[in-house]
Amino acid sequence: MSDTAWLEDATIYTLDVKTFYDSDGDGWGDFQGLIEKLEYVDDLGVDCLWIRPFYPSPLRDNGYDVADYYAVDDRLGTLEDFREFTDRAHDRGIRVLTDLVFNHTSIDHEWFQTARRNPESKYRDYYLWAGDVETAYNTFNIFPEHEDGVWSYDEVADAHYFHQFFHHQPDLNVRNPEVREEFHDILRFWLRQGADGFRIDAAHPMLMPKGHDGGTLAEPIELFKQMKRVVSEEQSDAILLAEADDQPELLPYYFGDGEAFDLQFNFVMNAHLTYAIGVGDTWPLHRAHEIVPDVDGIGKWANFLRNHDEWNLLKLPEEAFHHAREAFGEDAGDSWIFERGHRLRLAEIYDNDLDRVAMAHSLLLSLPDVPVLLAGDEIGMGSDPSLREREAVRTPMQWDDSEYAGFSTSEPGDVHNPVIDEGEYSYERVNVADQLNDPGSLLSRVGELVDARSQCPEIVDGIYSVVDVDRDDVWLHRYDHGDNLLVCGHNFADEPREVACAFGPPEDVSTSIVGDGDYRVEGGDLTFELDGCDYLWIRADKWGKRAPEPGEVLALSR
Ligand code: NOJ
């Protein structure tokens, strides 16, 4: 078994330290606060944390604009706090992934400051410059609402520098071997502080043509293979997770035949899965199954319902993309950003229908691959549209109904982002404390589902298949695992549905693992009886109608 095998059955939870829990009352969440809340995370059942950037940063892009790769923003704590946090997490068997942003730095980074001032310095070639942008390579900017293009003029350097994201995020020149050495040193450094792996931000833009000549690396994937070798040599169980929102057919490339990324976000699945549940129709999910490449043996997908950015819909077919733009969000349209997605949280996408949110989690957690949960979604938090672009979905965690949501004791003016204190998503209505001991709460249901997943080795080791059903609002899938069969049913409709599968175990050897739905077995056929938004996972330890032939997977349906 490889040392990175822990990933196979991991459930990841992502949070931002500065909005999670403030231990010292300065309005900023911090590592000591996170340590205090590890019990919560542990109780939820997750076993891996991906923490978003916490390095010194001017926070023009929420920390994805790094000013120093080797330190902790002092509002969030110290390096010692970070080490203590990883130790305490490890004590609980929780691994820690940190976020590394190698496509670009902040303009405040010392490398850039030196580069712009001193053309002779080695740092000049850490970035990409052009004297004349008319003749230089050109491409689109990833934040089209904010930036006119990919070149910005710097007065001090008297030259233009290249940036695919905001103008304050100059791209690093990945063709420069010294830059790649810097990456390696940074990776080693954080492993030595206790990290267990890294989410590599903007992996796709890292490989894109760059600079005045629009050049790329001769063998682009070598960049990540090299990083993986460095990481594995330092710590054999450390992993790399790619944020590569590329075209589906190009995604397997990032796994480098098993020698680059271990894990990759599945943006294609995200758009389709969350949309399918939102429109109550399974066709987008079927489509995702058709277009997501099979990467068995070379890497794994990380599936998610929402992340901390906009809900990017570009991977939907055109008609659905336009439909999703109109169908979700307020009529005012102010949730729509970057010409591609909504800055809404999961509960809002589903109109605060918590049964639907729970069902979405059930589906996520019962699908193969690695699930990633976004902090706050497990209690049904909403967004604050008055905040600047994606900051809307990055408000502090709502712990209880005391002032400032139990997140901080600070004066409101001092905080990074304010808590949501009005409307249906206010902390008085949506908070951890209220849900913690309520078995029917969203939080309890999500916890139960995380737990159910950990009790189902079928999901990790079984053979997955989608069960054909004669309804387009019910999704059934199954795992064949030795003599076991795990079948999971999800009703996307608001009304009750009955769906029969032409296979099934004798009733007395089947058990329901999780979910309020019901089932019956008649004549060896299994029928799911699901109320609106119900889900149900069933395990059977014996074959029903007939035993499979050797090597055969029974995937029958009416
Ligand atoms: C992806 C991050 O998730 C996003 O928040 C950030 O703006 C871009 N990468 C640029 O770093």
Task: Report the alpha-carbon distance of residue 211 to residue 136 in Å, rounded.
Answer: 8
The alpha carbon of 499 and the centre of ligand 1 are apart by a number of angstroms equal to 42
pLDDT of residue 550: 54
Greater model confidence, 507 or 539: 539
- Residue 542, pLDDT > 90, answer no
Section 453-471 average pLDDT: 95
Q: Is the pLDDT of residue 452 over 90?
A: yes
Which residues lie across from 59 on neighbouring strands?
A: none
pLDDT for residue 508:
61
The preferred substitution site among 18, 59, 64 for testing ligand 1, maximizing ligand atoms within 8 Å of CB, is 64
Say what the pLDDT of residue 412 is. Answer: 67
Mutate to test the pocket of ligand 1, among 54, 61, 106, 246 (most ligand atoms within 8 A of CB): 61
Atom of ligand 1 lying closest to residue 143 CA: 7
- Worst-scoring range by mean pLDDT, 80-89, 266-275, 280-289, 540-549? 540-549
Query: Quick one: what percent of the chain has pLDDT higher than 90?
Result: 89
pLDDT value of residue 331:
73
Pairing mode, strands 535-540 and 510-514: antiparallel
Residue whose CA lies nearest to ligand 1 atom number 11? 64
CA of 173 to the centre of ligand 1 (A): 18
Q: Which of 309, 312, 337, 343 to mutate to test the pocket of ligand 1 (most atoms within 8 A of CB)?
A: 309
Q: Do residues 438 and 444 touch, judged by C-beta distance below 8 A?
A: yes
What separation in angstroms does the CA of 340 have from each of 186, 321, 326? 33, 8, 12
Q: How far is CA 189 from CA 126, 232, 409, in A?
A: 20, 13, 34
Q: Cβ–Cβ contacts within 10 Å for residue 145, how many?
A: 9
What is the atom index within ligand 1 of the atom nearest the CA of 307? Answer: 3
Per-residue pLDDT averaged across 229-237, rounded? 98
Nearest CA to ligand 1 atom 10: 64
Q: How far is the CA of 538 from the centre of ligand 1 (A)?
A: 39
Q: Ligand 1, residue 64: give the atom nearest the CA.
A: 11
Count of other CB atoms within 10 angstroms of residue 179? 18
Terminal Cα distance for the chain, rounded? 40
Handedness of CA 157, 159, 162, 165 (dihedral sign): positive
Residue with tokens 């990083």: 227
H/E element, 537: strand 535-540
Q: Name the token pair of 188.
A: 């080693």
Distance 552 CA to ligand 1 centre (A): 44
- In one-letter notation, the amino acid at residue 168 is H
Which protein residue has the closest C-alpha to ligand 1 atom 5? 309
Q: Report d(CA 288, CA 73) in Å as an integer.
A: 39
The residues that bridge with 151 in the sheet, in sequence order, are 162
Q: If you search the block for the tokens 């906009």, which residue do you land on?
A: 310
**Are 310 and 278 in contact, with CB atoms under 8 Å apart?**
no
Q: Whose CA is nearest to atom 3 of ligand 1?
A: 309
Counting Cα atoms < 13 Å in the Cβ hemisphere of 523 gives 3
Report the mean per-residue pLDDT for the chain.
94
Would the pTM count as exceeding 0.85? yes
With residue 302 as reference, give the H or E element that holds it: strand 300-304
- Distance (Å) from CA 100 to ligand 1 centroid: 10
Index of the ligand 1 atom closest to the CA of residue 243: 1
Q: Which atom of ligand 1 is closest in space to residue 101's alpha carbon?
A: 11
User: Which mutation among 101, 311, 372 tests ligand 1's pocket best, with the greatest number of atoms within 8 A of CB?
Assistant: 101
Q: Calculate Rg over the CA atoms of the chain.
A: 24
Residues forming the active site = 201, 243
Model confidence band, residue 480 (pLDDT cutoffs 50, 70, 90):
very high
**DSSP secondary structure string, 48-89?**
EEEEPP-SS---TTTT-S-S-TTS--TTT--HHHHHHHHHHH
Q: 373-393 pLDDT, tens per residue?
A: 999 999 999 999 999 999 999
* Cα-to-centroid distance, 52 and ligand 1 (Å): 10
Q: Ligand 1: which residues within 6 Å by Cβ?
A: 61-62, 64, 101, 165, 201-202, 243, 309
Report CA(13)–ligand 1 centroid distance (Å): 18
